[in-house]
Amino acid sequence: MNPDSHRQNVAVRLIQDNRFQVSIGDQVQIGDTYYLGIAAADDEHPIDAAEGLRILLRSWLRELELADPSQVTYLPFDFSDEFTRWIACQQSDQDLLVVFGSAAVEGWAISPGNFSTYAHRLPEFQPDSPVVIHTFYRPFLLSRLRRALANVNPPTGTDG
């Protein structure tokens, strides 16, 4: 195994306790699935966490594929009542520079299926401290996100 292979890690998966895990390089962040469950247009009929995560990943892919190379693309992953956690992606030639951070945008105000209002203009985005920048070949990152989308399943031993 390549000793640097953890640096090329890109994975998103459901885990126990109504959470999901976002792994980028050697960093692992956790998101809550609550807002993913109400991602559907009809809030009276919540969807399961697996379908909510699929919706989120499809939205990430859409925003990254349509992004203007001169813009930063912000991808939400944790929706809390008073703030949201984001992944900022800046294109540099064929690479994407990726950084975790947060913004004071309330999670309830954002749809995991349509966050285009903030995808390229995120007020008060603050990168995590210390700033850790991950660099990925853009097609590689997109293929890993497609793989994560194809493999979304409830964690073993749960009902989703």
Give the domains, in start order, of the chain with CATH numbers. Answer: 5-150 (3.30.2450.20)
Residues 6 or more apart whose Cβ sits within 8 Å of residue 87 = 22, 24, 74, 75, 77, 98, 99, 100, 101
> Which stretches does DSSP call E strand in the chain?
10-15, 19-24, 27-32, 72-79, 84-92, 95-103, 126-127, 134-137
Give the global pTM: 0.88
Q: Does 130 sit behind a cis peptide bond, omega within 30 degrees of 0 on the bond before it?
A: yes
Q: How far is CA 116 from CA 12, 39, 73, 112, in A?
A: 20, 14, 10, 10
* pLDDT tens track, the chain, 160 positions: 333 434 578 999 999 988 999 999 999 999 988 888 775 545 566 788 899 999 999 999 999 999 998 899 999 999 988 999 999 999 988 999 999 999 999 988 888 888 999 999 998 999 999 999 999 999 999 999 999 999 998 776 554 4
- Closest C-alpha to 21, from 91, 64, 107, 85: 85
Alpha-carbon gap, residue 109 to 66, rounded angstroms: 23
Tokens of 10: 């890109």
